[in-house]
Amino acid sequence: MRCRQDQPHETGSRRPTLRDVRDLCALYNVDESVTAELMKLTREAWEPGWWTQYEDLNLSSYIGLEQGACSITSYSMHHVHGLAQTEDYTRAIIKAIAPKMDPAIHQQRVEAQLRRQQLPEGESPPHCRLLLDEAVLHRPVGDPVLIIVQLENILELISSGKVTLQVIPFGIGAYSVADIDFTLLEFNEPALPPVVFVERPSR
């Protein structure tokens, strides 16, 4: 078998097939255990993630990375991070950002957000560290009961050990990242460098 560097599986222009992986492992004399692991990863790569059904979100790449992260660190000065939101809080935030959004699209975005929140419940959940500007805790979203339930949800996540929360107090004054929300994703795989996602709400 001859492999040229301009072949699709060498350039990354398409995902490798099981046959590609099998043949390349044979060519490079990869042992059976590593070959089996690579074949397993290849099968998983061809399985569509649940998030692909929400075409409107345009976040497939991000959510796919989020699902595989071992550590998630987020900073927000506008609202609670999606992994810690209640359903009512999610609905209110999306409605506030895009008040004229089609109801069906609004519902899809809520559903996708709720499915993302299952991540800390998995067998190997990532370490989730949420950094919030104190303004997030004071900003009215919906009615007062909604905010109370949201804060109780955050406290429950903290007490269960699913997230670590740190609040940047007003007293600290101005600081360098006080104008943008972002999330840092880190991975156990040495080949995957950390990824920073800068959030820009889509209307």
Please give the pLDDT value at position 43: 67
Q: What pLDDT sits at residue 75?
A: 92
Question: What does the DSSP assignment read for 31-48?
Answer: -HHHHHHHHHHHHHHHSP
- DSSP H helical segments within the chain, as ranges? 8-11, 18-27, 32-46, 60-68, 87-97, 103-116, 134-138, 144-159
Q: How far, in Å, CA of 142 to CA of 91, rounded?
A: 9
Place of tokens 């360098």: 176
Residue 2 confidence (pLDDT): 40
Place of tokens 């919030």: 132
Q: Identify whether the C-beta of residue 72 lies closer than 8 Å to the C-beta of residue 66.
A: yes
d(CA 119, CA 106): 21
Residue-level pLDDT at 167? 93
Residue ranges of the chain with pLDDT lower than 50? 1-13
Task: Fill in the amino acid letter for 187.
Answer: F
Instruction: Give the model confidence (pLDDT) of 108-139 as tens digits.
Output: 888 888 888 877 776 778 899 999 999 999 99
**What pLDDT sits at residue 9?**
44
Catalogue all structural domains in the chain, each as residue range(s) with its CATH number. 8-46 (no CATH), 51-198 (3.30.870)
* Cβ(93)–Cβ(43) below 8 Å: no
Which two three-digit tokens encode residue 43? Answer: 């099968």
| Residues 21 and 42: beta-carbon distance below 8 Å | yes
